[in-house]
Structure 1
């Protein structure tokens, strides 16, 4: 019999609904006879007149709190006799005793002790004998009431180290075993409150939801602040970045301080050249959330769009531009870095002059309807020694309008293709996730105090779905008790099971799930079915025990 066969047989025994109470067939009588001074290992169901067992306090001197205090079951008797009785009475293990092949070191079948894993009885305790890392290990089989205690000791606090499921399982299986231990450890570790709040941020990726394509230049603009940077000779430390969504035309203005008044003043200057936008997309930075900005937008009837907190990817266009601009500054500034504000106009021209991958045209060309005359044009004109033919103003305007009318459909087509390509690449590793109102979640909130502090906070409750990928979350005790977060910053909160851990969850839809032996005759089978129907309220798929008596079903 192979390892897999034995495990499958054990699980099959566990999942079988038949009740076996005559334990005399499980081991030789002399192995089940209690020794002097010991309790009988025969299954004993506790009645009302049973002597109450005294609890054993195994507190380890740790802080009180969920997932970090002991005892888990203060009324649990951890004595050897009580443990042995629990082993014999556990319905998860009692059928499996039929698989015992070694009793007190004596094989009950040829070569039984050489096949791994196998089950053995030593000193009236039930073991699974397995080979782990080349060493023979006797794994004490743990009955259901004691499984939670083992899990707590193996995982929690400094002695457990809050290690992952794989290492926690390895720590336990060096000493203990029960059917379904792998699933039990995974459930336990995944529902550990401490681990959920301190786990590293996973790379959650919900499928990309592109923003609508804007056809009119400067109808929607994105705005952000870059800095603080090296203080320039003129006292500038920040850059106000404004980017047009339709043409990708950038503006970058150096600022001494990113106050709302300074930003509003620069916006007035820009609006005088481009006209008033309909929408402004920003993050939730303090200058953009100020009363001044709200008044400016109200005055000019501009709709304020904001990214969800801690998720700048919503405004990915301006974030990518910021990255490009900072890289360009790094490559062209002088050694002391104090001339960067003088270089901004030249860098902006360089960006505006070249075609963008998403539109297929340069931002300058889309705004002004012509190609910019740059240094390369001067070189070309010098080499060709010919000047451009003179055009009248009317001819220039006519040609510009004609060119724009031809270019804009191509721009929309390029933008559409660029969005589809970006979405296709992004969604390769994306997975659609959704939350429902009432779901409990943990929220990833950056912290700068210490890298050892928990970055996940919670659990909090989802109270509303806002759009396709944002959720409003209730955070009691916070300055802003209701906050909107992108789904990539949320993960499901797993509550720790209140009841004792069950090694293998056995679900039952009623008496229909009860297995009736095929050896019964038709009248006997019908009689059993009628009995089950009359008493279906007494049956459950979960293991337990009778409160006062022990029933024997033959």
Structure 2
């Protein structure tokens, strides 16, 4: 596992799809999610279906128009994120597209973490209040943005705006800053803004240390399977919905035709057709006939 490097907000975003959920108003059943790799700020939008055109519109509205043009966009190689339309559009803004290895979501770990957090909070809110999942999305995003993250030690809101958001509990119990509110607080606010870069620098150091720990823990747990060019392998089948759970878990054989420095492999099928994307060694097994 490699630890990705990012040292400032809005430079690198992960993007992914969560769902399908139970059908909501407007036939919405999917959630398009993006997360900033530095601040952990999350944006999400419920949609009925997700096409390349909708992904492009989502990136424009939720990333570029709010936070500026990113340097890199990380996704899996799902058809919604690939193809000439999106590739040419990203290139026109100087955005580098990075695709994770097939069936290797750890490469887009921040999006996976955001997905799990969204699902956990959604489930908790629906169990408590009921209602439609679509109506809870804004509240879920608010909870994520105002909760300190282990990697940075602070909230996404703080790293984006330089101060903490006033949350409902503060109004109810009148926290110190509510009680001592000063209408003419321009001096204090300017000081906070001056400290934003310092806070981000501290978060960057904490983030690098956290990622290094995660990398070491992962590498201790995972035993790599080295393959050589010419080896025959099984590849893991990624389940798709309930139907996918009934399919055989491995497919093949496939031949290894190229080994990448990252530990991923390019494969070709029995007819000599190369698969579109590299596969992680964690999702391959040596092929044994019979």
Length-normalised TM-score, structure 1 = 0.48
How far has the Cα of 1:355 moved from its partner? 0.8
1:416 pairs, out of 186, 205, 208, with: 208
**CA deviation string 1:161-193 (max 9, x = no partner):** xxxxxxxxxxxxxxxxxxxxxxxxxxxxxxxxx
**CA deviation string 1:290-322 (max 9, x = no partner):** 333223212211110111111212112211211
**Secondary structure in 2 matching 1:289:** coil
**Secondary structure in 1 matching 2:13:** strand
Deviates more, 1:431-440 or 1:304-313: 431-440
Tell whether 2:103 aligns with 1:290. no
Tell whether 2:235 aligns with 1:443. yes
Maintained 8 Å contact 2:24/2:132: yes
Is the radius of gyration larger for structure 1 or structure 2? 1
Report what 2:72 is aligned to: 279
Maintained 8 Å contact 1:231/1:338: no
**Secondary structure in 2 matching 1:473:** strand
- Give the whole-Å Cα distance in 1 for the aligned partners of 2:74 and 2:60: 17
Unaligned runs of 5+ in 2: none
**Secondary structure in 1 matching 2:174:** helix
How far has the Cα of 1:491 moved from its partner? 1.9
- Give the whole-Å Cα distance in 1 for the aligned partners of 2:155 and 2:288: 50
1:310 pairs, out of 97, 103, 114, with: 103
**Secondary structure in 2 matching 1:333:** helix
Maintained 8 Å contact 1:242/1:250: yes
Report what 1:493 is aligned to: 287
**Secondary structure in 2 matching 1:319:** helix
**Secondary structure in 2 matching 1:459:** strand
Tell whether 2:25 aligns with 1:230. no
1:388/1:397 CA distance change after superposition, 3 Å: closer
Report what 2:122 is aligned to: 329
- Give the whole-Å Cα distance in 2 for the aligned partners of 1:472 and 1:411: 37
Tell whether 2:181 aligns with 1:379. no
Alignment of structure 1 residues 88-487 onto 2, 5 Å:
208-212=1-5, 214-270=6-62, 271-333=64-126, 339-381=132-174, 386-391=179-184, 393=186, 395=187, 398-446=190-238, 454-477=248-271, 480-481=274-275, 483-487=277-281
- Give the whole-Å Cα distance in 2 for the aligned partners of 1:360 and 1:371: 13
- Give the whole-Å Cα distance in 2 for the aligned partners of 1:350 and 1:493: 47
1:336/1:293 CA distance change after superposition, 3 Å: farther
Maintained 8 Å contact 1:474/1:482: no
How far has the Cα of 1:396 moved from its partner? 5.1
**CA deviation string 1:29-78 (max 9, x = no partner):** xxxxxxxxxxxxxxxxxxxxxxxxxxxxxxxxxxxxxxxxxxxxxxxxxx
How far has the Cα of 1:224 moved from its partner? 0.6
Maintained 8 Å contact 2:41/2:156: yes
1:478/1:288 CA distance change after superposition, 3 Å: farther
How far has the Cα of 1:409 moved from its partner? 2.5
How far has the Cα of 1:331 moved from its partner? 1.8
- Give the whole-Å Cα distance in 2 for the aligned partners of 1:429 and 1:384: 45
Provide the aligned length of Structure 1 versus Structure 2: 287
- Give the whole-Å Cα distance in 2 for the aligned partners of 1:389 and 1:379: 19
- Give the whole-Å Cα distance in 2 for the aligned partners of 1:224 and 1:450: 19
Unaligned runs of 5+ in 1: 1-207, 497-554
Length-normalised TM-score, structure 2 = 0.88
How far has the Cα of 1:424 moved from its partner? 3.1
